[in-house]
A = this chain, B = another copy of it.
Amino acid sequence: MNKKPLILVTNDDGITAPGMRTLIEVMKTIGEVVVVAPDSPQSAMGHAITINSTLHVEKVQIDTDDLEYSCSGTPADCVKLAVKQILGRRPDICVSGINHGSNSSINVIYSGTMSAALEAGIEGIPAIGFSLCDYNWNADFEACKPYVKTIVENVLQHGLPEGVVLNVNIPKLPQKEIKGIKVCRQAKANWEEEFDKRKNPQGRDYYWLTGKFVNLDQGEDTDEWALENGYVSVVPVQFDLTAHHYIQNLNSWNLND
């Protein structure tokens, strides 16, 4: 590459999150970095966007001389604002994360990290969401670095087809115990939710959402299998949600009779 690529960095844990600081550090070894990220944590925001209230953006300095912007919106808002308002030119790639916690299997649906990557993909920008399977704010992101670098360099080299972004999850393991990178499909795994019912001091009921993660998918080609077996998982993700395989069947229903 003759010119340094322009890299848009965002996340859903907020602009000061350690996972994003690691991502910025690695990206600075590859290209020119601009950060546009939420001013507060936005986990589990799914693909929310802000249409009924206003958005604010502030230029901020965190711990580098890079261009960083803090935004009042969701991860998807950050990408829209960056591309349409802040950058002035199209980024060569958008990276989101590194998320504090897994976004494997069904979690991709709820993930603000992946929402940012999908939004960039919708804009036609190659995009990757990175997550470490460790929810701890003080998680050790050191082992992520070489894998993040390899995957970003490969995407810059090969590109990604229209409509496809990457969902990368990294197991919570020391670097020497990680076996490599595996291309996977999204596992058919679910949350079995429970609601923790409590009473507030005024006697009113309220609930906390809790639950446990259950993987009933026996496949060895899934992201869950890869992560459980010490691999970094890479799932190509699309935003055409059409269940093409079921169209013919639906047509047999004769809905117009």
A residues within 8 Å of B by Cβ?
A: 41, 43-52, 54-57, 76-77, 80-81, 84-85, 106, 108-110, 115, 118, 122, 150-151, 154, 158, 161, 163-164, 167, 180-181, 183-186, 188, 190, 193-195, 197-198, 204-209, 234-244, 246-247, 249-251, 253, 255-256
Determine whether the beta carbon of A238 is less than 8 Å from that of B243: yes
Determine whether the beta carbon of A46 is less than 8 Å from that of B45: yes
Determine whether the beta carbon of B193 is less than 8 Å from that of A84: yes
Q: How far is the CB of A3 from chain B (nearest CB, A)?
A: 23
A192 and chain B: residue at smallest CB distance: B84
Given A55-B207, A56-B204, A76-B46, is A85 in contact with B197 using a C-beta cutoff of 8 Å? Answer: yes
Which residues of B sit under 8 angstroms from A185, Cβ to Cβ? Answer: 240, 242, 244, 247
CA–CA, A50 to B51, complex, Å? 19
CA–CA, A71 to B83, complex, Å? 35
- The copy count of this chain in the complex is 2
Determine whether the beta carbon of B44 is less than 8 Å from that of A205: no
Q: Which one, B106, B234, B236, contacts A255 given CB within 8 A?
A: B234
Q: How far is the CB of A166 from chain B (nearest CB, A)?
A: 8
Which residues of B sit under 8 angstroms from A150, Cβ to Cβ? Answer: 255
A195 and chain B: residue at smallest CB distance: B85
Q: How far is the CB of A17 from chain B (nearest CB, A)?
A: 14
Determine whether the beta carbon of B80 is less than 8 Å from that of A246: no
Which residues of B sit under 8 angstroms from A47, Cβ to Cβ? Answer: 46-47, 109-110
Given A46-B49, A163-B243, is A54 in contact with B207 using a C-beta cutoff of 8 Å? Answer: yes
Which residues of B sit under 8 angstroms from A55, Cβ to Cβ? Answer: 195, 206-209
Determine whether the beta carbon of A154 is less than 8 Å from that of B44: no
Q: How far is the CB of A230 from chain B (nearest CB, A)?
A: 13
A221 and chain B: residue at smallest CB distance: B247
Determine whether the beta carbon of A180 is less than 8 Å from that of B256: yes
Given A46-B45, A48-B44, A209-B80, is A109 in contact with B234 using a C-beta cutoff of 8 Å? Answer: no
Determine whether the beta carbon of B240 is less than 8 Å from that of A236: no
CA–CA, A209 to B209, complex, Å? 31
Q: How far is the CB of A1 from chain B (nearest CB, A)?
A: 17
Determine whether the beta carbon of A190 is less than 8 Å from that of B236: no
Across the A-B interface, the 4 shortest Cβ-Cβ residue pairs: A46-B47, A46-B46, A236-B243, A238-B243
Which residues of B sit under 8 angstroms from A57, Cβ to Cβ? Answer: 205, 207
A-B contact pairs, 29 of them (CB 8 A): A43-B51, A44-B49, A46-B48, A46-B49, A55-B195, A56-B204, A77-B209, A80-B195, A84-B194, A84-B195, A85-B197, A106-B239, A108-B241, A109-B118, A109-B122, A109-B239, A109-B241, A154-B255, A158-B253, A161-B246, A163-B188, A180-B255, A181-B256, A183-B250, A236-B247, A236-B250, A238-B241, A238-B243, A239-B241
